[in-house]
C-alpha cells in the first residue's frame, strides 16, 4: 500500500518536472507539462484521501439520519438517484431527482447530506484527451450503505 508521504513526494516530483520543462523550453514542452501537471494533481488527491483514512466526502440520500440505499446516475433527464430494489417499495419510486430543491425529495421527507465513504482518485475524461481531470470516486458499496453521515 502506498503511503500518503510517498504520494506527496511523487506529486512534488511531477510538479517540479512540469516547472523544469516550462523553464527549459517555454511552451514547446506543453504535452510533458500537461502530463506532469495531471499526475501531480492525481497524486496530491490520492495523498489527501490516504491521509483521511482512504475516505472522502460525498453526498448521500437520507431520511432523517437513515441512509437510503441509492446511487447517483445520469439519465436522459439529467442526474437522478437510483433507489436500490429493496427500498423502492417503501419509497414508491425507482428514481428520485437530485438536488436540494427537489420537490419529490421534500414530499418523501428525504434530503441530500454530506457523508464520508471509502474512496480513491483516478483520471477521468468527458470524452476528449484535453478534458482530463482528477475524479474522486467511491470504492466501497455503490449504494452508499458503508457511508458515515457527516454531522453538521
* Residue pLDDT, tens place only, 24-59: 675 566 777 888 889 999 999 999 999 999 999 999
- Residue 109 to residues 70, 82, 112, 118: CA-CA distances in angstroms? 15, 17, 11, 26
* Mean predicted confidence (pLDDT) in 2-17: 84
CA distances from 42 to 12, 15, 29 (A): 11, 11, 20
Give the per-residue pLDDT at 35: 83
Q: Which residue has the higher pLDDT, 14 or 106?
A: 106
pLDDT band at 9; cut points 50, 70, 90: confident
Q: What average pLDDT does the chain have?
A: 90
CA distance 24 to 30: 11
The percentage of residues in the chain with a pLDDT greater than 70, rounded to a whole number, is 92
pLDDT for res 11:
86
For residue 27, what pLDDT is reported?
58
DSSP, collapsed to helix, strand or coil, labels residue 119 as strand
CA 47 to each of CA 15, 70, 83, 121, 136: distance values in angstroms, whole numbers, following the listed order: 14, 28, 32, 9, 12
Lowest mean pLDDT among 27-41, 63-77, 82-96: 27-41
Which residue has cell 419510486?
93
**What Rg value do the Cα atoms of the chain yield, rounded?**
20
CA nearest neighbour of 55 among 135, 141, 112, 139: 139
- 1 three-class SS: coil
Amino acid at each position: 500500500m502506498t503511503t500518503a508521504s510517498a504520494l506527496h513526494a511523487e506529486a512534488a516530483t511531477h510538479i517540479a518536472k512540469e516547472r523544469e520543462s516550462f523553464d527549459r523550453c517555454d511552451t514547446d514542452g506543453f504535452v510533458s507539462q500537461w502530463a506532469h501537471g495531471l499526475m501531480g494533481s492525481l497524486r496530491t488527491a490520492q495523498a489527501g484521501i490516504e491521509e483521511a483514512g482512504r475516505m472522502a466526502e460525498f453526498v448521500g440520500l437520507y431520511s432523517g439520519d437513515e441512509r437510503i440505499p441509492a446511487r447517483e446516475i445520469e439519465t436522459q433527464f439529467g442526474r437522478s438517484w437510483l433507489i436500490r430494489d429493496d427500498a423502492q417499495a417503501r419509497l414508491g419510486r425507482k428514481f428520485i431527482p437530485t438536488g436540494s430543491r427537489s420537490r419529490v425529495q421534500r414530499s418523501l421527507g428525504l434530503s441530500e447530506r454530506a457523508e464520508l465513504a471509502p474512496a480513491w482518485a483516478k483520471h477521468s475524461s468527458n470524452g476528449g484527451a484535453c478534458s482530463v481531470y482528477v475524479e474522486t470516486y467511491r470504492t466501497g458499496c455503490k449504494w452508499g450503505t458503508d457511508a458515515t453521515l457527516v454531522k453538521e
